[in-house]
Amino acid sequence: MDAGLAADCVTIMGCAHQSFPQNYLGLPLSASKLPVSAFSTYVDRTDKFLSSWQASLLNTMGRVVLINSVLDAQLVYIMSAMQIPQETISQIDKRRRSFLWAGNKEFSVDKCLVAWTNVCTTKELGGLGIRDFGTHNICLLLNLVHRLHCADASAWAQWIRGKADIANMKGENLGHH
């Protein structure tokens, strides 16, 4: 776009001219693949929550409740819209693990009482019931696919169906060979 035209548009619309990546409606937005650094906001938000809690006053199960009800809930919005990079999930899991076992941000993995994969198992199977972020992210994204193929009244699904001929998509369009 011509720089003069862009400047005119910014003046007329009263907005800022920015480059990608940037946030829109709380989600990182880019014209190309997002770098992992675009997700640092979510790691920082996790740090902010953890630093405000008085973890030393809670037992392990109290910390589990905070992780499941508050900490995990802050990421549901982005996990429902896009796949979180594994590096970001690992950074957040490190903080969740430290909070669970020590109540702070810095904690050695050697001091964990139970392997993280076991912690993320359901209570019925002997775990603590903390959600696995990677699996939760995939499930939330699969919900979008489900909504596309169900005859519900979702405005989003109707809009997507109007823009793409989903019924006639070929396997190669879906990543199949």
Query: What is the pLDDT at residue 10?
Result: 85
Sign of CA dihedral 69, 71, 74, 79: negative
The total number of residues shown for the chain amounts to: 177
- pLDDT tens digits for the chain (177 residues)? 577 888 888 888 888 877 777 777 888 887 778 888 888 888 998 888 888 777 778 888 888 988 888 888 888 998 998 899 999 999 999 888 888 887 766 666 666 778 888 889 999 998 889 999 999 999 999 988 888 888 667 787 888 878 777 666 545 444 444
**Where do the domains of the chain lie?**
40-169
Quote the CA–CA distance of 125 and 61 in Å, as a whole number: 16
- Range 14-17, long-range pairs (CB < 8 A, 24+ positions): none
